[in-house]
Amino acid sequence: MASRAGSTGIDASLYRREGPWCTALFDASLGTTAAHEAADALPDQVGKLLASQQAAEADIQALTGALASASGHRAPVARFVAVNNGEVVLDELIQGLKVQAPEVDCGPFPNLVPLARARGGQFPYLVAEAGRDGGEVRLYHSSVQGVDESRGVTGDPEEAHHAHKVPGRYDEPKNQSATEEIWKRNAVELANQIDEMAREHFVKLIVLAGDVKARELVVGQLGTASKSITTMLEQNTRAGGADQGAFAKAVADHVDGVLAAELKALAEKVANKSGNGRAELAVGFDEVVEALQQAQASTVLVNQYQDDESLVALSSEPWLTGEESEDHAELVVGSWPAPEVLLRATAMTDASIRYVPEGVLPEGVGIAALLRWPKGEQAP
């Protein structure tokens, strides 16, 4: 995959690439005869849908060539593919999403709404396993299955355990001190890897497991920022016979805890801004559109998808306008369903978007936006 959508489900740089674009969302499940038959028929089916939307032959070939099923993944699972000028730039599996029929779109900018809805709120996190002879740190994304990146520290097992292998010498202070120095050196290297990956990927959670002594040494060497988001699991996952299922569940519980805390914080922020005339909160479709036009929205919050609305996409600022508006006629790209245009404008104004459950927004409100500055004031 050449590019991954960010924590909001979108990557603004994709919208800045010159079109045309073609995207496809389809069921990638296997496991039944019917699923295998559907997978076999998919390239022809999607190819016809692309041709009906006047897709270029290079885009048709690239997209149909990427229609792979998700072998080894539990159903349901979907795949989202985006092609730009004959190049596959997004190819992601979405675990747990059931797609009844392929959804194909072609146009001057990509329709990333299906991916955004599935990925919205995802965040990167690290899982580190420490041992006295080294360790490993792995990067994950909360709604993406599988490891995104892995780095390891490999010490010398013979050197690290030398004291254990010399009968009668383990208690000698000099030998003990040398052994602990080796363990500390390995811990420093692993902590440096954790700090580096945490900075590079803006992770929100670090889960540390492994040998008890090694864990303590690693935590002691972490930078302040990393230490503040680190949770230690009392599990020596590097020992033989370790319960990997229990370990995976413990990690998942901590990930769910971060997601729940973020939603709670959002709900509290919305509640706090709902008073005082809602000066720092855009409420409803029209107010959110106006806020995006002024690049005033910092976070767009969607509880109801607005699928029944349409908007006009513009080629530059203010990026969108209402269908009845006569402003910015020279910038008009075309009219699309509101979710696509809203998502593009959100990305192009460096805002984020969250698809939130009931209870986060005021009762009866389907869409809102937290604002960068109060209504009625000039941009800072």
Position 290 scores a pLDDT of 96
Same domain, 157 and 90: no
Examine the fold and report which residue of 243, 263, 283 is the final residue of a domain before the chain moves on: 263
284: domain CATH number is: 3.30.1330
C-alpha 210/C-alpha 58 separation (Å) is 49
Number of domains forming the structure of the chain:
3
**79 in Cβ contact with 91 (< 8 Å):** yes
Position 158 scores a pLDDT of 52
**309 in Cβ contact with 338 (< 8 Å):** yes
Q: Which residues contact 248 (CB under 8 A, 6 or more apart)?
A: none
* Cα angle value 197/238/255 (rounded, 5°): 50
Same domain, 107 and 157: no
Same domain, 29 and 105: yes
Give per-10-residue mean pLDDT for the chain (380 aa).
43 91 90 74 92 95 87 82 95 87 94 87 90 88 78 63 47 58 87 95 94 92 96 78 83 93 92 84 95 96 91 96 92 96 95 91 93 90
Position 2 scores a pLDDT of 33
* pTM (2 d.p.): 0.81
Same domain, 69 and 91: yes
Same domain, 141 and 71: no
Position 31 scores a pLDDT of 64
- Does residue 58 form part of some domain? yes
* Cα angle value 19/88/356 (rounded, 5°): 80
Examine the fold and report which residue of 80, 98, 119 is the final residue of a domain before the chain moves on: 119
**Does the bond joining 110 to the residue before it have cis omega, within 30 degrees of 0?**
no
Position 177 scores a pLDDT of 63
Q: Which residues contact 201 (CB under 8 A, 6 or more apart)?
A: 124, 139
C-alpha 194/C-alpha 232 separation (Å) is 14
Q: Which residues contact 341 (CB under 8 A, 6 or more apart)?
A: 310, 311, 312, 313, 320
228: domain CATH number is: 3.30.420.60
The token pair at 310 is 């349409």
Position 228 scores a pLDDT of 96
Position 25 scores a pLDDT of 94
In which domain, by residue range, is 286 found?
Answer: 274-371
Euclidean distance between the first and final Cα of the chain, in Å? Answer: 38
Examine the fold and report which residue of 119, 147, 175 is the final residue of a domain before the chain moves on: 119
